[in-house]
């Protein structure tokens, strides 16, 4: 099953970013969600999240611009992307 793409508008940490990264935590299991933890993994915030085999933090998503090694590292760079989309032009 493909993971969902993070939408470009009305982004929710739980409803969109958590699902797109295949985060297996619940708010109760980790004491809330860390945007930095979902984007950059263990080094991104005070909460370290656990991810399923299909996903991982946003900075492990495919290149934001193909073949550049430019993985997304900020919320403005992950909008419209996901682990399964193969990258593409970054959103405006």
User: Is the dihedral angle over the CA atoms 8, 53, 18, 16 positive or is it negative?
Assistant: positive
pLDDT, residue 40, reads: 79
User: Token pair of 84, please?
Assistant: 């399964």
- Size of the chain, expressed as the number of residues it contains: 92
Over residues 7-32, the pLDDT tens digits come to: 777 888 888 888 888 999 887 787 78
Is residue 16 classed as helix, strand or coil in its secondary structure?
helix
Q: How many CB atoms lie within 10 A of CB 42?
A: 10
Q: Which residue is listed with tokens 């900075």?
A: 59
Query: Per residue in 29-80, pLDDT tens?
Result: 877 888 888 887 765 566 788 898 888 888 887 765 555 666 655 666 667 6
For the chain, give every domain's residue range: 13-78
């Amino acid at each position: 099953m493909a993971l969902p793409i993070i939408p470009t508008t009305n982004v929710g940490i739980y409803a969109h970013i958590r699902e797109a990264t295949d985060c297996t935590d619940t708010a109760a299991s980790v004491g809330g969600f860390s945007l930095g933890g979902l984007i950059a993994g263990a080094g991104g915030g005070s909460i370290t999240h656990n991810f399923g085999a299909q996903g991982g933090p946003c900075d492990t998503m495919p290149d934001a611009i193909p073949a550049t090694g430019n993985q997304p590292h900020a919320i403005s760079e992950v909008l419209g992307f996901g682990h399964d989309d193969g990258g593409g032009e970054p959103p405006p």
